[in-house]
Amino acid sequence: MCRKRILCLFDVDGTLTKPRNKIEPHLEEFLYNKVKSVCTLGLVGGSDLKKIAEQMNGDDVVKKFDYVFPENGLIQFKNGQEIGRESIQRFMGEEKLQKFINFCLGYLSKIILPVKRGTFIEFRAGMLNISPIGRSCSQGERDDFERYDKIHNIRRNMIEALKIEFPDIGLTYSIGGQISFDVFPTGWDKTYCLQHLETEGFEQIHFFGDKTDIGGNDYEIFHDSRTIGHKVMNPDDTKMQIIELLGI
């Protein structure tokens, strides 16, 4: 197997790490010492580079992986160097962007939850991340909200309200992780990163992700004709599937 012809492209949350946790040392060592010797490594996440770096144990993640695509690939790194970026602000324009944000803030102000914390809307280069409970909640509060959301569909109901209020704005909504959902221009899901890989000469691109069902933020890239999708349950399952795929 030629390393340069096979790319293993990984989601972060739920795939290489437990949600918002750091990668376990045994999996990190396995990726860098074994997997990287037989295939090219890529990383694509909805979070910004700072959060990805926190979960992957440092900013040198852009050097350890051959390709790193924060924010679904709206920012691109190859061999440790940034090679491009795009902006949702430039795409939408300030007037539409503020109208959308104002509606979200109004909607969130009317939701009653067991607890609410801070940072309900996070502005990223390629998307808005919206969290009804607030991203500054503790891990225990994250777990509690995830269970509450499965019963009361807080995130799904808000997405439906946004679709009704903004039917023609050209946005896509994607639930990922435990407490939030992403909003981005249609086509700016994780498949966005693939355009930067099409001319790289790979014979196969294997994508590993956990949120591969409809509405999950791995759905589009998992089903894309340019990738071979692998649905995983957790980081340990990811490791087992890699071993089976690569025979290492």
> Hey, which residues are catalytic here?
11, 13
Q: Are 125 and 113 in contact (CB under 8 A)?
A: no
DSSP 3-state of 128:
strand
**Cα 6 to Cα 204: distance, rounded to the nearest angstrom:** 5
Going by C-alpha positions, the residue among 66, 77, 61, 64 that lies closest to residue 42 is 66
Separation CA 36–CA 54 (nearest Å):
21
Query: Do residues 181 and 155 make contact, with C-beta atoms less than 8 angstroms apart?
Result: yes
CB atoms within 10 A of CB 134: 20
| Alpha carbons 176 and 166: distance in angstroms, whole number | 21
Q: What is the largest CA-CA distance in the chain?
A: 56
- H or E element in which residue 159 lies: helix 154-165
